[in-house]
Structure formats: structure tokens, C-alpha cells
Amino acid sequence: MTGAAAGAAARAISESREPAALSSPNRRRAERGLRWRGTREGIHFLILFLCIVVAAVNSGTNLVYLFASVMGGVYVLSFLVNAVSVVGLSVSVHLDREAAEGEEFTWEAVVHNSSRFGRHFVEVKPRFVGAADYEPGRRLRRLVPPLAQLGPYLARVMSQIVTGEPREGQPGRLLYLPPGKSARVSIRTKLERRGDYRLESVDVYTSFPMRLMHLAWTYWPAGRVVVVPTLLRPFYTAATASEIEVPTESLVDSHRGEGLDYHGLREYLPGDPPRSIHWKVSARFQRLVVREHQQNRSARYYLFLDLDERKADSRKGPEKLEQCIRIAATVCRELVAASCHSQVLLLADEFAPSPSIFTASELGLLLRYLGSVPYTRRGSLSGMLGRTVGLLAPDSYVIFALPGATDEDCAAIGSLLGKGYHVSALLTVADRDEARKERARPAVVRLAEGGCHVLLHSRATSALC
Amino acid sequence: MKPDDRTEGLDRMDLWAWLAVSVTMVAMALAEPRALVAFGVPALFYWAARRAGKALPKGVENRVGLVCALGCLVDYLVFRDGVLGFALFFCSLAAISMHTGRGRGSLRQLYLVLTLVMLVVSTRTLELAFLLFLILFTTATLICFLREAHPETVSAGFRRRYVGVCLAFVAASFAVAGPLFFVLPRAPFVLFNPANLPSVTGFGDEVSLGEMASIKKSSKLYMRVYAKDQKKWRGQVLDHYAGRKWTSRGSRGLSRSLQAEPGRPARLIPGDQTPLADYFLQEILIEPYTNRALFSAAQPAAIELIGYPVNHSVGDTLSRGGDTRFQKITYRVWSKLPQATQTQLEATTGPLNVAHSVKDYLQLPDGLQRLRALGGELTRGRASWYAKAAAIEEHLVNKYAYTLDLPEVGAGDPVEAFLFETKRGHCEYFASAMALLLRSQGIPSRVVTGFSFGEYNAFGGYYNVREKDAHAWVEAYLPGIGWWEFDPTASSNEPEALGFLDQLGLTQSAAWLQMKAWLDSLDAQWQREVVSYSADGQRELMARVAEFFDDLYIAAQSRFYRGRSWVHDRKAPLAALLTAVLAVSLAGGRKRAAAAGLWLFELIAGLIASQSRRGTRTARVTAFTRAAQLLAAHGLERRPDWTPLEYARTVERERPELAPALGALALLHCKVEFAGAPLGEADRLMAEVRIKELAALLRGRKREDRR
């Protein structure tokens, strides 16, 4: 693939999955500006303050009043100092990167203090949004439109449940930021789920000096993190790769005259379609010249990925889906590392191939795609394969990564056998018990007996079942 | 504070934690010395165990705490002071927490205990030193909390910086706490009285001869008096002599109870309507004592004591009723000072027509023959009553010696013993002797106990009256004059007891005396503004703030109208100037300047337009409207159906002093509004002057009402 095409593919990946839009309640809350949150110390302090005020009123002693006033003064001043410390900064971030699931990564935010006041104990805490599809509340999402009719309040609540709270990273700390200076804050972040995250906001807060309260102000720098699926362990992937016959040499098969990829110019030969004549060039050379196209048929490996959102409804469904993606990512990594051009095809109602045929140099792009690919709804597998199979080159390797397969799915996969394709099925199971049941299931047995490589995977064992 | 949770006991105490503990304990010990024992015993126990290197068994702190609680219970049973019992227990807890606490939670416990101890201290002291303790405690606690909340500050690079930051923070906290202190609502009632009050003898309804000697040896401050002139501050009037003691009529139920209200002093002279400004004003702050006597210069005419009823006995003795609290008593007294020239005094020669109410002051016990004879001898040949009294006074001053160490007297009358045997005594003896000598000669007289002048502080403009200034003197009734003071006490030659610093000679230097006076004036300010701040003071303060904003509003309104008129009068040149500036700015491409110019242009154009809309009516209409607004704010609202003149007449009935100003404004209004007369510059100026006059009158009335 050319560089321009790779760029276009990258753009397509970027645009294919916009991070979940910030839900309106979150935004409303965030845009309130200065936010106060009590701390345990602060609440104890206030209780003590109230007790002393009560003592002052009861005793009528002015020095008790003075004592209470000083406590009140400390609290009020804490509020003022904290408010001054967090307001009026500027925060800039250069964050556009990938990270692995559950892996801590460090990035930096630059905080600039343009005022004439020094800032003390400023903490910078990011809030990411995205990857909401995997949250437990996603099942409720389907309920939101009807509930929205019940009233905006309920809809907001439900929407918040569905979208999930923004994930907060670990705060970065600045002990002192002098006036007119900038400082880099190192922030460690760990995002547990794969997905395309957008840095929604950065909360700058402080609890100077006695941690009596948290006072936060929200800034809105732009940033993005794509959390890619975790790649499985080498022995596991090696076994998987050997099962699905990953070749050791590169296979490139270019068919000229077909396809859409531009190959070059040649002289007109009889039988060439008139539409292929390049009239401008022909006029320059005073003879007929035609454009020649080619079809790159190197993508011999097709990975069908099933992310049916209905399967996420069960208790272990989301985890199986995620494991399915991890397996797909691992297999694709192995294939691409072996210079096998491979393509991921998402099983969906609308046929959704990956926007690129990934080559060895585009492993990052592949992972990014798998990191941001959403759950979709799909119909029957047989119908989809009927529409898709004609596009596959003969003698291709067809791999199915499914979070479990129904008998119908097994039949659909079995229908590919004997048509010149090398078919493998990577079925994700929840545990060993389920693997045992799957292995004994007639449909799966028939599939294996028909020549399909059936592999059962479980995260619990992280090995082949 | 070290942030490590594993550190234990004293290991986690740093300088600031020690400071917090020390300050609290010193403050508590000054308020109640038994706190040292409560804190010291468990501290010594742990210190000894630590010194011996013995590991104490787990849970020993519970047993130590129990022992301390028992000790505090015993203290309560002995002294009957529950709040103090708790405070002592908190001191013990602080010592235990210091030695056994582990982790951050125990630090908070320690601070909580210290805070409670400081709370008790604040109910036990009224001294300026408490402010110093509070500042130190707040600073130390703040730094400790800062270090606990942000352990990075312990590192060397930040230590110094954050001490400075914390000090600045504490200073700012106190600045914020100031207004808060004055704003926090004061309750008019008191539910518990946290402290036991001291008492002094000599100012009760019954005074035994010689009682005053004990308090005259003490230099403790009794009261501060803010007055223009120094006087004797009279307290108790004693009129009945019964051999060894004096009693007053108040003890026999001859008194009436009065209640002063804020701004309305209670008049002591029936039917007296004299303006209080004609009387001698004293503001007196009495330290917390159980004694109920109130002091004033001679012949009190009115008193303002808020929160307590005042008992006014025959003989102009004042005392307060109500409960005793650990509070300073602050009150104001207006005295009608007796005035007479020497000639008038010498002219008191007529027959002594003693009124019925004065006859009691001639009481003498039986016997006292030698005293009667001495009286006759001393007054022989004296023409006037005053001369007789003066002769007795002079005899006592010159022939007798002053001493606080009273010699033993026999079973006879102590006054006769003083006059004829010992010939030494203190003021009570001198005063008693003179009163009895006067009575023996038919001159009504009484013994008055109180304080002599006190020590003047030039920095604060007040008199410090100490216990050693306690004094007794005599008031004699002179025909045509009334009660007149005589002080027969001889001057004292007794040396004062010298302290350590006195012996070093440091206390006599001018710098020392200046500094002492300055510190004392600070303390007086503290007592007057902070310690004695009351609900009444709060109302006064709020009224002043409201008045300030009222004045500010009037001033701003006046300036606005004046400015609008000024702009209107110069609209042509201003418009030309602004147009030119705008054109130049636009031509020069100075967008900001042009925008600012445009904004100014719009503002001035708006002002001119508003002025023009009102036309020439502006000044008179606004003047009258402003006057109506002012009056409405003071409760004199104009009804919609009233004409300006009707309104002016109505106001005149209510407040005659406002009539000239309002009448002039109403006339001007009618002249220009209804008769179409032109409004000249002089009219406009007059309107401004009248408005100011109205505002000043209303303000003055308000102040007077409050007073």
C-alpha cells in the first residue's frame, strides 16, 4: 500500500470511531467552573468549628468567639487561596498515542501560570471519555430512547448510566508554580479497557494547605489515547499460529488488468476496453495508450471478527467479546509479522471490512483499528458469508474469531469447506467447562471433522483448551 | 511532621508539633496551674519508661488514661468545676497521645485534643496573651497539618519556603477572622458559666474595719476607667456604724432596681432632664469579680449597663443584679460632680436643717465619750460647717500615721483605739474616725469605700485602677452644698514590695515605663474592643456600617447629578472633542482607542440625552425626588396624593428641624415645575446645599437616637 493510501486508511480509522460524545450532564457539570468538594479533614474541621460556635453562643465568651472566628478565617482563606490557585492557569497537552489495556503510561501536561500569584500544591487530574460500549450499563442504552420520553431528567440519568462516568487518571502534582512560569506535570494514566479515548478535560485542583477541601477548575485541552487490545502470550500465540498455518514467506499475487489499483501505462492492444484509453497521453504520443490496473491479491488471510453486541448482554459476554478481539489482534500480529497481508472483516449487518489491508509496517495501524472497533449488530452468518465469499480470492485462509458459535454459525462456516478455502475458527469460551461442552457439541465436532481448524480459547486459562 | 505511618510516639513529633503542644499547655497552665500536673504525670511516666528502655505492654495507655480520668474526677469532686475537670483530662490525653500515637490518625487526635484544651483556655482567660497563644497555636497546627497533608514539604528544599507561606497564611486568616468575629451573632443569654470568679473584700453591704488591708497589698488590676479627669471612684456608701463594722442601707432593702436599654441610660435622679452631655462621663471596665459594686465619680446621675439590672441604693450606691459571669463588666456613668467655691464652702454657717432622709447619717453608737470630746475640741471656734469638717480632716492627716500592718487593739471600740491609743491605721480607720467625729458634732457624714484615682496611661487615655488603690473616705453633708468629699487619710510612707526586675533597677528606666504603658494600652484596647464586645456593640457596629453605606449612596448620587449637569452644560465642546478624538483614532487605525472613544462618546451622549429629556426640569425635579427618597429611607414616606407642599407640611409636623430645607426644595419645585420659572445656577446650588443639609440632619438625628 502506498504512503498516501496508508494515510487515508489511518484517517479512516480515526474517523471510523469517534470517541463517545461527552454526555450533556457531564458537560454541564464540568462547565460549572469552580467546584468544591469536601474532604474528611475538612468535614471534621467544620464539625469542630460548629461545636466551638455553639460553645461560644452558650458561654457568651468573646474569646471563644475569637477562636471560632479564627477557625472560620482559616477555612474561608483556604477557600480563597485554593480558588486563586486553580483559576486562571492555562493547560496544554500533546497527547496522541496508543496504550495497551491496563498498562500504565506516562504523559505530560504543561501548566502555565500567567498571573502574579504563585500557585501551591496544584494537582492535575485528567478525565478521559470513551470505550463506553463495554461498560455494564450498555445494556440500558437500548432503553434510553423510550425512557427519554419520560422526561429529560430520567433521560439524563439513564444516559449517564449508559455512557459511564469519565475515567479519571492519576493526578500529577506541582508543589509550587511561580508567577509567570510554566511547568511540566508528569501524569500517569492507566486505562483498563481498549477503546478510543478522548481527553475530555483536565481538572486542576488543590487542597492547600490543610486539605480542608478540594477546589477544582476544569480546563479543556485536546488529547487522544487509543487503548489497543492486549496481545496474548507468545507460546499461546505460537500455538495458535501453527494451527492456522501461518506461512514463513511472503505471498504476493498481483493480477494485472483487474482491480482498481493503478499499475501503469502500455500501448493499446486489441480487445482493451475503450474506457481504459488514456486520451491525453495518447494525444501526446500520437498513439493509443491505455491505463493498466491491477488487483493486489496478496491479502490471502481474511479474519472475520464477530462483535455482535447482543452477545454482550450475558454476564460473561463482554469479556468473551474482548477476549475475541485480543485473539484476533494476536493472530493478526503474527500474520503481519510474517509479511502476510491480512484483512479484518467485521461481521455486521452492513459489511464492514477494515479500511486497509494491513502490511507488516502497519501493525500499529492494525492494533489501533482493533482498539477502536465498536460492537455491532449482525444478522445470520450464512447470509453474510453468502454476500462476502465472492470477494475472497480462491485458496485464501479464512479465519473466524467468534465469541462462541451457534449451530447455525457452525453450519455457515462449514459451508465454506470444500470450496478451496483454508478455514479456521477461533471460538472464545468462558472457562474450561464451557470448552468441554463446546468440544462435545455435534455442530463443532462436525465442523472439525469437515477439515476446519477449531480452537477454543479462554482467558481464564490463557491457553488452548 | 514525618509522613511515615510506621513512626510512633515522640518520633513523629517535630518542632512544630512540639510547639503546638507547648503553647497549649502553657496557655492552659496560666489559666489553671493544675493542668501542669495533669499533663506532667502521664508524660513523666512515659518518659521514665522510655528512659529505662522498657517496652510497655500493649494496652497500657488505656490503663494510664483510666488513672488520669480518675484523677480528674477527684479534682472535680474537690473543686466542683466540671469544665476544668474535662480540660485536665484532655491535657492527660494529649500527653498519652504524644507518647503512644501511631500513624496519621493519632496526629489528628492529638490536634483535636489540643484544640479542645485551647477552647477551655479561651473560656478561662481574658488576657491579651491569649491572642499570642492563639496565633502560635494556629501557626504550629497549620504547619503540622500542611506537612501531614503534603509530605513533600518535609524535604529540605521546601521547608523554609512553606514556613513563610504558613506564617503569611496565618496572618491573612486572622485578618479574615477579624470581621467574622464582629459579625458572628451574639446571644443575649448565657447557658453555662465556665469559670470560678475571684472576690475582693471591702465593697459589700457590710464592711468590718480592717478588711481593706488585705486587698491593698495586691497590685492586681481591678478596673480601667476612661474619663477626662481623675476622681475618686466611689463604690459602697456605709452609713451605720455598729462598733466594729459598717453597714449600708442597701443591706436593709432600701434600694430600687433599674434597667438601662441600649442608647437609653437609666436616670438615677428622679425627674432629671439635664442633657447627659453636661455631666461627667466615665466608661468603666471592671475585671471579672463576684463583687457586685459599681463604681463612679461622686453623685452618679445616669448609668448605662447592658445585660444586668442596676440596684440604686439610697446614698447613691450602685450595684448590679443578675448572675455572675466570667465577663468584664462594661458600663458608662454620668456623674453630677458637686461644685462649690471656697467662698460658698466657707459660707455654710447657717443652722443645719437636716432633712429626714439625712438624719440616719448622724447615727452614733452609745459611749464614745472620748471621741465626742475630741470632736468638740477640734471644732471649737470654727464658724462654718465646712471649717469644722476641714479641721477634723486636717487633724487626722497630720497627727496620725498610715500603716497596713494593724496593731492589736483591745476589746474596746476600734475607732477610739485608733484615735487615742495606736494612732496608726489605714484609710478605713481614718475615714471611720472622721465620720464619727463629724457625727459627734452634728454633721451628717458617711464612709465611702471605692478606689482612689489610679494610674494614668497616656497611650490609651485611661486610668488603671488596681486593688492596691482601694480606699475609703468621707462624705459630709453641708447645708446649701450637699454631700462633700473629705479625705482624712494620711499619706503612706510604706515602701512597696520590689520584684526581681525592680531590684535590678530595670523597671525605673524611661524606656521600660514607656513600653509597659504601651503594652498596657494594647491590653486595654483588647479588653475594650474584643473582650467586652457585646450584642449591643454589634448592633451599634451594624448601624454604623449601614450609615456609612447610606452616606456613600448619598455622596455618589450627588456626584452623579453634579456630573450630569456638568456634562450637559458643556455638551457642545465635549461633543466636538470626542468627535475629533474618534476621528483621529479611526484615521490612525487605533482600534482600541477608537472603541474606547466610541464608548465614552455613547456614555456622554446618553448623559446629555437623559439630561435633555428632562430638559431644564432636571435639577429641581431630581432635588425634590432625592429629598423625598432620603426622607422615605428615614420613615417619612410621601403619599402619592400629596402635593410637594402638603408633603413638606406633613414632614414639618413630624420633624420640625427638617422643615426649612424641605420647604425650600418644595417651593423651588413648584416654582419651576408649575409656574415655568427658569432654573438658574444659584437655584441649582441651593438645591444641592438643601439636600446636604437634609442628609446631615437625618444622620445627626439617627446618631442621637442611637446614643
What is the arithmetic mean of pLDDT over A226-235? 78
Q: CA B451 to CA B202: how far, in whole Å? A: 11
Chain B residues within an 8 Å CB radius of A44 = 108, 112
B703 Cβ neighbours under 8 A, 6+ residues apart: B547
Place of cell 498516501: A4
Distance from CA of B13 to the nearest CA of A (A): 17
CATH annotation of B198-497: 3.10.620.30
Instruction: For residue B149, give the nearest of A56, A63, A210 by CB distance.
Output: A210
Task: Identify whether residues A134 and A235 lie together within a single domain.
Answer: no
Distance from CA of A199 to the nearest CA of B (A): 27
Instruction: For residue B152, give the nearest of A68, A175, A210 by CB distance.
Output: A175
Task: Identify whether residues A161 and A65 lie together within a single domain.
Answer: yes
Chain A residue closest in CA terms to B327: A61
Q: What pLDDT score was predicted for residue B618? A: 47
Q: Quick check: B132 pLDDT over 90?
A: yes
Residue A406 lies in a domain: yes
Report the share of chain A in percent with pLDDT over 90.
8
Positive or negative: CA dihedral B483, B489, B490, B493: negative
- Cell matching residue A127: 478525565
Span of B231-240, B458-467, B687-696 with lowest mean pLDDT: B687-696
Q: What pLDDT score was predicted for residue B4? A: 47
Q: CA A203 to CA A221: how far, in whole Å? A: 10
B372 Cβ neighbours under 8 A, 6+ residues apart: B440
Chain A residues within an 8 Å CB radius of B105 = none
Task: Identify whether residues A37 and A121 lie together within a single domain.
Answer: yes
pLDDT tens, position by position, B252-266 = 556 678 877 777 788
Q: Quick check: A253 pLDDT over 50?
A: no
Chain A residues within an 8 Å CB radius of B138 = 70, 74
Distance from CA of A75 to the nearest CA of B (A): 8
Q: Quick check: A233 pLDDT over 80?
A: no
Report the share of chain B in percent with pLDDT over 70.
87
Distances (CA, A) of B608 to B563, B570, B582, B672: 11, 9, 18, 20
Residue A223 lies in a domain: yes
Q: CA A33 to CA A203: how far, in whole Å? A: 10
- Higher-pLDDT residue of A279 and B607 is A279
Rounded to the nearest 5 percent, the helix, strand and coil shares of chain A are: 40, 30, 30
Task: Identify whether residues A259 and A310 lie together within a single domain.
Answer: no
Across the beta sheet with B310-313, the strand order is B255-258, B310-313, B317-320, B293-294
Positive or negative: CA dihedral B19, B25, B29, B31: positive
Does the distance separating the beta carbons of A60 and B189 come in below 8 Å?
yes
Does the distance separating the beta carbons of A63 and B122 come in below 8 Å?
yes
Does the distance separating the beta carbons of A176 and B184 come in below 8 Å?
no
Is residue B366 within 8 Å of B414, Cβ to Cβ? no
Distance from CA of A64 to the nearest CA of B (A): 5
Q: Quick check: A369 pLDDT over 70?
A: yes
CB atoms within 10 A of CB A328: 26
Mean pLDDT of chain A: 76
Q: What pLDDT score was predicted for residue B610? A: 61
**Interface A-B: count of C-beta contacts within 8 A:** 125
Q: Quick check: A114 pLDDT over 60?
A: yes
Domain count, chain A: 3
Task: Identify whether residues A49 and A167 lie together within a single domain.
Answer: yes
pLDDT tens, position by position, B9-20 = 566 677 888 899
Strand partners, B241: B246
Q: What pLDDT score was predicted for residue A150? A: 55
Could you please report the per-residue DSSP string of A312-343? GGSSSHHHHHHHHHHHHHHHHHHHHHTT--EE
Is residue B56 within 8 Å of B173, Cβ to Cβ? no
Q: Quick check: B704 pLDDT over 60?
A: no
Does the distance separating the beta carbons of A73 and B177 come in below 8 Å?
yes
Q: Quick check: A51 pLDDT over 70?
A: yes
Closest CA to B187 of A58, A48, A67, A63: A58
What is the arithmetic mean of pLDDT over A198-227? 87
Does the distance separating the beta carbons of B184 and A65 come in below 8 Å?
yes
Q: Quick check: A202 pLDDT over 50?
A: yes
Q: What pLDDT score was predicted for residue A252? A: 45
Q: B499: pLDDT confidence band, cut at 50, 70 and 90?
A: low
> Is beta strand A289-296 parallel, antiparallel or unpaired with respect to A301-306?
unpaired
Q: CA B491 to CA A176: how far, in whole Å? A: 69
Q: Quick check: A355 pLDDT over 90?
A: no
Q: Beta-strand (E) ranges in B419-481? A: 424-425, 445-451, 455-457, 462-466, 470-478
Residue A259 sits in which domain range?
Answer: 255-296
Instruction: For residue B122, give the nearest of A67, A81, A173 by CB distance.
Output: A67
> Is beta strand B206-208 parallel, antiparallel or unpaired with respect to A463-464?
unpaired
3-class DSSP state of B448: strand
- Cell matching residue B437: 467625729
Does the distance separating the beta carbons of A70 and B165 come in below 8 Å?
no
Report the share of chain B in percent with pLDDT over 90.
17
Q: Quick check: A21 pLDDT over 70?
A: no
Distance from CA of A201 to the nearest CA of B (A): 25
Does the distance separating the beta carbons of B142 and A209 come in below 8 Å?
yes
Span of A116-130, A145-159, B341-355, B493-507 with lowest mean pLDDT: A145-159
Strand partners, B16: none
Chain A residue closest in CA terms to B176: A73
Does the distance separating the beta carbons of A81 and B145 come in below 8 Å?
no
Q: Which of A296, A321, A353 is the last residue of a domain?
A: A296
Is residue A113 within 8 Å of A181, Cβ to Cβ? yes
What is the arithmetic mean of pLDDT over B147-152? 77
Q: What pLDDT score was predicted for residue B335? A: 92
Q: What pLDDT score was predicted for residue B10? A: 61
3-class DSSP state of B112: helix
Instruction: For residue A70, give the nearest of B108, B174, B533 by CB distance.
Output: B174
Q: Quick check: B548 pLDDT over 60?
A: yes
Residue A6 lies in a domain: no
- Cell matching residue A433: 467447562
Chain B residue closest in CA terms to A74: B173
pLDDT tens, position by position, A209-221 = 888 998 988 888 8
Residue A188 lies in a domain: yes
Q: CA B80 to CA B77: how far, in whole Å? A: 5
Is residue B301 within 8 Å of B334, Cβ to Cβ? yes
Q: Quick check: B290 pLDDT over 60?
A: yes
pLDDT tens, position by position, B167-207 = 999 999 999 999 999 888 887 666 666 556 677 776 777 88
Distance from CA of B525 to the nearest CA of A (A): 14
Q: What pLDDT score was predicted for residue B245? A: 85
3-class DSSP state of A266: strand
Chain B residue closest in CA terms to A52: B119
Q: What pLDDT score was predicted for residue A145? A: 53
Instruction: For residue A70, give the nearest of B125, B149, B173 by CB distance.
Output: B173
Task: Identify whether residues A404 and A261 lie together within a single domain.
Answer: no
Chain A residues within an 8 Å CB radius of B126 = 63
Q: B138: pLDDT confidence band, cut at 50, 70 and 90?
A: very high
Q: Quick check: B703 pLDDT over 60?
A: no
Mean pLDDT of chain B: 82
A312 Cβ neighbours under 8 A, 6+ residues apart: A133, A134, A138, A139, A318, A321, A375
Q: CA B121 to CA B516: how far, in whole Å? A: 25
Task: Identify whether residues A319 and A432 lie together within a single domain.
Answer: yes
3-class DSSP state of B699: helix
Q: CA A431 to CA A456: how far, in whole Å? A: 10
Q: What pLDDT score was predicted for residue A222? A: 87
Chain A residue closest in CA terms to B170: A74
Q: CA B454 to CA B524: how far, in whole Å? A: 14
Instruction: For residue B176, give the nearest of A55, A76, A211 by CB distance.
Output: A76
Task: Identify whether residues A271 and A324 lie together within a single domain.
Answer: no
- Cell matching residue B304: 448605662
Q: CA B557 to CA B506: how far, in whole Å? A: 60
Q: What pLDDT score was predicted for residue B27? A: 94
Is residue B300 within 8 Å of B267, Cβ to Cβ? no
Is residue B623 within 8 Å of B691, Cβ to Cβ? yes
Interface of A with B (CB under 8 A): 41, 44, 48, 52-53, 55-70, 72-74, 76-77, 81, 120-121, 173, 175-176, 207-211
Does the distance separating the beta carbons of A74 and B138 come in below 8 Å?
yes
Q: Quick check: B212 pLDDT over 90?
A: no
CA end-to-end span of chain B: 54
Task: Identify whether residues A313 and A436 lie together within a single domain.
Answer: yes
Per the omega criterion (within 30 degrees of 0), is the bond before B488 cis? no
Residue A10 lies in a domain: no
- Higher-pLDDT residue of A173 and B188 is A173
Distance from CA of A168 to the nearest CA of B (A): 21
Q: What pLDDT score was predicted for residue A463? A: 47
Chain A residues within an 8 Å CB radius of B137 = none
Distances (CA, A) of A37 to A42, A205, A219, B129, B142: 9, 10, 17, 37, 20
Find the DSSP H helices in B150-193.
156-183
Rounded to the nearest 5 percent, the helix, strand and coil shares of chain B are: 60, 15, 30
Q: Quick check: B573 pLDDT over 70?
A: yes
Residue A355 lies in a domain: yes
Q: Quick check: B134 pLDDT over 90?
A: yes
Task: Identify whether residues A222 and A325 lie together within a single domain.
Answer: no
Task: Identify whether residues A337 and A276 lie together within a single domain.
Answer: no
Does the distance separating the beta carbons of B134 and A55 come in below 8 Å?
no
* Residue boundaries of the structural domains of chain B: 9-183, 198-497, 538-706
What is the arithmetic mean of pLDDT over A260-286? 82
- CA gyration radius for chain B? 36
B169, B285, B525, best to mutate vs chain A, most A CBs in 10 Å: B169
Chain B residues within an 8 Å CB radius of A57 = 185-187
Does the distance separating the beta carbons of A65 and B186 come in below 8 Å?
yes
Chain A residues within an 8 Å CB radius of B327 = 60-61
What is the arithmetic mean of pLDDT over A60-80? 92
> Is beta strand B424-425 parallel, antiparallel or unpaired with respect to B401-402?
parallel
Does the distance separating the beta carbons of B142 and A63 come in below 8 Å?
no
Chain B residue closest in CA terms to A68: B181
Q: What pLDDT score was predicted for residue A321? A: 87
Q: Quick check: A198 pLDDT over 60?
A: yes
Span of B38-52, B483-497, B592-606 with lowest mean pLDDT: B592-606
What is the arithmetic mean of pLDDT over B386-393? 91
The domain that contains A394 carries what CATH number? 3.40.50.410
Q: A167: pLDDT confidence band, cut at 50, 70 and 90?
A: low
Q: Quick check: A117 pLDDT over 90?
A: no
Task: Identify whether residues A197 and A329 lie together within a single domain.
Answer: no
Dihedral angle of Cα B645, B649, B651, B656, to the nearest 10 degrees:
130
B366: alpha, beta or left? (left if phi > 0; alpha if psi -120 to 50) = beta
Residue A364 lies in a domain: yes
Q: How many residues does chain A have?
A: 465
CB atoms within 10 A of CB A249: 8
